[in-house]
Amino acid sequence: MNEYKKKIDEILLSVEKPARYVGGEWNTPDMTKPHRAKFCFCFPDVYEIGMSNLGLQILYDVINSHPDFIAERCYAPWPDMGAKLRENNLPLLSLETATPLKDFDVVGFSVQFELLYSNFLYMLDLANIPFYAKDRGEEYPIICAGGPCAVNPEPFAPFCDCVLIGEGEEMDLALLKLVADGKEKGWTKAQILEKAKEIEGVYVPSMLGEGEKVVKAVVKDFENAPYPTKPLVPNIEIVHDRATLELYRGCASGCRFCQAGYYYRPIRERSPEKCAEYGKKMIDSTGFGEISLCSLSTSDYTGLMDLEKELRPFIEEKKITFALPSLRLSSFTKEMAQSSRKSSLTFAPEAGTQRLRNVINKNVTDEEIDNIGRAFEAGYDSVKLYFMLGLPTETDEDILGIAEICRRLKKLYFEIRHKKNLNISVSCAVFIPKPSTPFQWEEQISLDEMLRRQSLLRKALREIKGVSFSWHGAETSVLEVALARGDKRLAPVIVRAYELGAMFDSWTEYFNWDIWVQAFKDCGVDMQDYVGEISEDKVLPWDFIDIGVSKKYLLGQRHLAYQGITTKNCREGCNGCGANKLGRCTIT
Amino acid sequence: MIVLKYVKTLDARFISHIDLLKHMSRILRRAVVPVKHSQGFNPHALIFFSPPTVLGVNSYAEYVAIDTDMKGEEVFTRYNNSVPEGLKAIEWFECAKNPNIQGKSVSADYVFDVDYFDVDLSDGLTVTYKKKEDFVTEDISGKICGTFNADGRLGVRLASGNNNLRADRLATALNEKYGKDIKVTTIAKLCQYVLVDGVEKSVDEYLRETP
Ligand code: SF4
């Protein structure tokens, strides 16, 4: 046992949930094999969230399955543990072998969303690694970052030697090979990065030439892409405590606010046979009691019925549950309602009226909402509805339309079940204009306006029995937009916010709005520059990234939105977004 | 009903009892040990545990009773192929029905990683600990059933079951009163005792005698 591990064991009993920090999960790969280079995945959120991330499990498996490389993990220690590490002069360590991050060849951060930027620095700080790439000498590992936020990496790019844009399966290995070669041949970091630039998807901030583009990395043969059939099994309860199947990447719906829907194109499906095989293997290797399906719009998956048929006998034999999350209204059928578990149904109409749903291209009609009736027939008594407030062109009528939907559902439930005890929970997020969507130029409504619209809706919903209402913090939404559409000027703002105490910003108990306001002010940066409407002819900080979908297409979609014209689902035919230049859309 | 006696050491000693309860059906599922379920609306796996050992303590006397038709030897082997080092089974027993170890528990032996010394309980022994939001001061001497010399180390028998004494609290009390530096992570639980028909005996003995 190494010295660090011994010391960690001694402090573990003074922190909450010590099992977060010991590793030793079932299916942990061999960490002692001879290797050419070592990678450490850093997840800037707490263990229970990081362990639930499918992308990380996939990449961890890809690297560890390679004979030459080892990947370990590190999750952001909860503040109590962070304080203990400092108190005991211990650096941040990897979970598997208690190795300081500094001793790895590559440290890769998985940046899932903007409110984790402060934790990126929190982890570097605990690891005694300087924040800015320019301040790190040859003695430090290559620090990189990837994940959904790489869609606009500029705010955190100055902290990275390189940013991995797009899907990591092939990119991570290519980078590790290069780093291993570099180690063996004595290359400098700059020499390695010079070559890394040539790998598809790798962006080296210090070496991007004028007018140069970085093309997003895409796994072309998704059917045969590696998948972790022996995923890690956590020893404590985590957020997604089950076996997860990824059915496809990309999304055919084209909702105009949805970043993932555009970023993960082209649309590539995996066959139901393969998915079923993976599902069985995962249950056998982990003992999980549940299989869940993970994709952007699961019920659109062509092979859903076949998959369910393949898995059904296995599920019954093993007495496990099979959950179908985030069902899309338009593809909801009674069979599905019956075959999934009867707890609560989740639907996301996103907007209260047909008009606004046309604007955002959420192709869900009022008749389709009535489809929920089939779920009532199948025995469901509660429904969760997700909406967004502050969408482009939204009026009070649209907001009140949300209450109208609730009334409609209550009436429908009564007609079918002759009871009144339907529970509806309405959850509202604030619209966030995100890069690489048709709405990337939109303004976000002001804080005051958010509060006004929230209270308008709350009042309207209060009049309907059995409806509960929850909404996301308005201030975090403003910060999210600023960071999402930010440029390099935001790097010092993030550093300043961290110095002032920002961390775990995605946790309400830790989020401190005043800190961020102060940090922007101290750095002389106006938050409004990032939150207001952006002119269409302006060069955007993320324009140098080629995600496949063309800017022209996004702009066209924006204009259609304003005319209330919808775009058909890609399954009915290609709309020419441009993504298929990076790989074939298997659904067309 | 098959009872496995297993250890809870190394990293596994930091897994809470509650988490392990939930985890056990997962372990048995991947070990392909068929577990019977209760009848009724909300069926649950028929798995029963010995009383919890405090987080961080190394235990060599944990028990889980599993309602299954599979042979003991096979359950034992399959279980051991499906758990990390820190949770390995060391023995198995067979019995007709749930032995209710938790309900019958009265005491347990621990060894503290400190040279044997006389623990004077004549004036009582108090310890202060946090219970929910409050601090509680308690005289724990009544829950110390005895001390013994364990190969030169300090051995103690502590009340277990309904009115138990957590080994970490005794460690705190001894550290304070005698200026020792006993770390919880070095404490070892060696034996669990149950009270059967008025007689105190080790769980192993009890299980061997039970038809
Ligand atoms: S290339 Fe065509 S089918 Fe593929 S995502 Fe774009 S619009 Fe849809």
- Total domains in chain A come to 1
Q: What residues have CB less than 8 Å from A393, skipping those under 6 apart?
A: A356, A359, A561, A562
Averaged pLDDT, A66-76: 98
Q: Looking at the predicted structure, is the pLDDT value of residue A152 above 60? A: yes
Nearest to A495 by CA among A135, A55, A107, A68: A135
pLDDT of residue A241: 83
- Ligand 1 site-directed mutation target among A557, A585, A587, most atoms within 8 Å of CB: A585
Q: What is the pLDDT of residues A270-283, one digit of tens each?
A: 999 999 999 999 99
Is the CB of A550 within 6 Å of ligand 1?
A: no
Nearest to B4 by CA among B33, B36, B30: B33
Domain with B81 in it:
2-103
d(CA A574, ligand 1 centre) in Å: 5
CA-based nearest distance A13→chain B, Å: 7
Q: A384: helix, coil or strand? A: strand
Q: Which 301-330 residues of chain A touch chain B by CB within 8 A?
A: 318-320
Is the CB of A63 within 6 Å of ligand 1?
A: no
Q: Is residue B78 part of a domain?
A: yes
Q: Is residue A167 part of a domain?
A: yes
* B110 in the same domain as B191: yes
Averaged pLDDT, A521-544: 97
Concatenated DSSP letters of chain B: -EEEEEEE-GGGGGS-HHHHHHHHHHHHHHTT----B--SSS--B-EEEPPPPPTT-EEEEEEEEE--SS-HHHHHHHHHTTS-GGG-EEEEEE-SS---HHHHEEEEEEEEEEE------TT--EEEEEETTEEEEEE-GGGEEEEEEETTEEEEEEE-STT---HHHHHHHHHHHH-----GGG-EEEEEEEEETTEEEEHHHHHHH--
Q: What residues have CB less than 8 Å from A367, skipping those under 6 apart?
A: none
Whether A379 contacts chain B with CB within 8 A: no
Question: Splitting chain B (211 residues) into consecutive groups of 10 residues, what average pLDDT does each group show?
Answer: 96 93 92 90 87 95 97 98 96 94 96 94 89 89 94 96 92 94 95 95 93 72
Is B55 close to A13, i.e. CB distance below 8 A? yes
Query: Bigger pLDDT: A2 or A153?
Result: A153
d(CA A580, ligand 1 centre) in Å: 6
* B110 in the same domain as B57: no
Q: How many CB pairs under 8 A join A and B?
A: 68
Q: Is residue A427 part of a domain?
A: no
CA-based nearest distance A20→chain B, Å: 9
Dihedral angle, C-alpha A49, A52, A57, A58, nearest 10 °? -120
Peptide bond into A266 cis (omega under 30): yes
* B70 in the same domain as B14: yes
Q: A525: helix, coil or strand? A: coil
Residue with CA nearest ligand 1 atom 2: A574
Nearest to A209 by CA among A580, A544, A550, A562: A544
- Ligand 1 site-directed mutation target among A251, A253, A577, most atoms within 8 Å of CB: A577
Residue with CA nearest ligand 1 atom 7: A575
Interface test with B, best of A236, A288, A315 (most B CBs within 10 A): A236
Query: Which residues are bridge partners to B66 per DSSP?
Result: B2, B47
Q: Is residue B152 part of a domain?
A: yes
C-alpha A49/C-alpha A239 separation (Å) is 6
Q: Looking at the predicted structure, is the pLDDT value of residue A326 above 50? A: no
C-alpha A564/C-alpha A577 separation (Å) is 19
d(CA A576, ligand 1 centre) in Å: 6
Is the CB of A575 within 6 Å of ligand 1?
A: yes
- Ligand 1 site-directed mutation target among A262, A297, A553, A575, most atoms within 8 Å of CB: A575
Q: Is residue B209 part of a domain?
A: no
Tokens of A110: 């998985």
CA-based nearest distance B83→chain A, Å: 7
At B172, the amino acid letter reads: T
Chain B residues within an 8 Å CB radius of A289: 25-26, 29
Whether B181 contacts chain A with CB within 8 A: no
ipTM for the complex shown: 0.89
Interface test with A, best of B14, B17, B46, B55 (most A CBs within 10 A): B14
Whether B203 contacts chain A with CB within 8 A: no
- Total domains in chain B come to 2
Is B82 close to A288, i.e. CB distance below 8 A? no
pLDDT of residue A334: 55
For chain B, give the number of residues: 211
- Ligand 1 site-directed mutation target among A267, A554, A572, most atoms within 8 Å of CB: A267
Query: Bigger pLDDT: A253 or B162?
Result: A253
* B89 in the same domain as B127: no
pLDDT of residue A75: 98
* B114 in the same domain as B98: no
d(CA A322, ligand 1 centre) in Å: 30
Q: Is residue A411 part of a domain?
A: no
Query: Bigger pLDDT: A347 or A260?
Result: A260
Tokens of A51: 């362990």
Q: Using pLDDT thresholds of 50, 70 and 90, give the confidence band for residue A1.
A: low
Poorest-pLDDT segment among A235-239, A286-290, A444-448: A235-239
* B145 in the same domain as B87: no
pLDDT of residue A324: 63
Return the half-sphere exposure (C-beta side, CA atoms, 13 A cut-off) of residue A213. Answer: 10
Which residue of B15, B26, B185 is in closest CB contact with A19?
B15
Q: Is residue B210 part of a domain?
A: no
Alpha helix segments (H runs only) across A341-381: 354-360, 366-370, 372-377
Nearest CA in chain A to B56: A13
Return the half-sphere exposure (C-beta side, CA atoms, 13 A cut-off) of residue A552. Answer: 5
Q: Looking at the predicted structure, is the pLDDT value of residue A540 above 70? A: yes
Whether A132 contacts chain B with CB within 8 A: no
Concatenated DSSP letters of A157-188: GGG-SEEE-B-HHHHHHHHHHHHHHHHHHT--
Nearest to B8 by CA among A452, A213, A24: A24
* B53 in the same domain as B82: yes
Query: Bigger pLDDT: A403 or A376?
Result: A403
Report in angstroms the alpha-carbon separations of A427 from A385, A468, A469: 6, 8, 6
Residue finishing a domain among B87, B103, B119: B103
Q: What kind and span of H or E run contains A39?
A: strand A37-43
Residue finishing a domain among B84, B103, B122: B103
* B99 in the same domain as B7: yes
Long-range CB pairs of B84-87 (<8 Å, 24+ gap) are: B84/A24, B84/A26, B84/B10, B84/B11, B84/B12, B85/B9, B85/B10, B85/B12, B86/A24, B86/B7, B86/B8, B86/B9, B86/B10, B86/B11, B86/B12, B86/B13, B87/B6, B87/B7, B87/B8, B87/B12, B87/B27
Q: Using pLDDT thresholds of 50, 70 and 90, give the confidence band for residue A321.
A: confident
Q: Looking at the predicted structure, is the pLDDT value of residue A487 above 80? A: yes
* B168 in the same domain as B77: no
Domain with A204 in it:
3-215
Query: Bigger pLDDT: A239 or B80?
Result: B80
pLDDT of residue A301: 87
Averaged pLDDT, A494-517: 97
In A172-325, at which residue ranges do the beta strands (DSSP E only) sit? 202-203, 214-215, 243-246, 248-249, 268-269, 290-294, 321-323
C-alpha B151/C-alpha A565 separation (Å) is 83
Report in angstroms the alpha-carbon separations of A148 from A75, A110, A171, A436, A563: 17, 8, 15, 11, 30
Q: Say what percent of chain A tops pLDDT 70.
A: 96
Q: Is residue B205 part of a domain?
A: no
Q: Is residue A177 part of a domain?
A: yes
Q: Looking at the predicted structure, is the pLDDT value of residue A341 above 70? A: no
Q: Is residue B37 part of a domain?
A: yes
Query: Bigger pLDDT: A321 or A30?
Result: A30
Q: A62: helix, coil or strand? A: helix
Q: Is residue A59 a contact partner of residue A169, using CB atoms and an 8 Å limit?
A: yes
Rg (CA), chain A: 24
Q: Is residue A126 part of a domain?
A: yes
Is the CB of A15 within 6 Å of ligand 1?
A: no
| Dihedral (CA of A434, A438, A440, A445) sign | negative
Q: Looking at the predicted structure, is the pLDDT value of residue A199 above 70? A: yes
Residue with CA nearest ligand 1 atom 5: A266
* B120 in the same domain as B85: no
CA-based nearest distance A239→chain B, Å: 14
Q: Is residue B206 part of a domain?
A: no
pLDDT of residue A333: 57
* B83 in the same domain as B24: yes
Kindly give the number of the ligand 1 atom that is closest to the alpha carbon of A573.
3
Instruction: Indicate the average pLDDT of chain A.
Output: 93
* B109 in the same domain as B88: no
CA-based nearest distance B6→chain A, Å: 17
Residue A151 belongs to a domain with what CATH number?
3.40.50.280
C-alpha A269/C-alpha A521 separation (Å) is 47
Q: Is residue A157 part of a domain?
A: yes
Residue finishing a domain among B82, B103, B124: B103
Poorest-pLDDT segment among A11-15, A174-178, A302-306, B188-192: A302-306
pLDDT of residue A335: 56
Q: Is residue B211 part of a domain?
A: no
Is A24 close to B84, i.e. CB distance below 8 A? yes
Averaged pLDDT, A83-95: 97
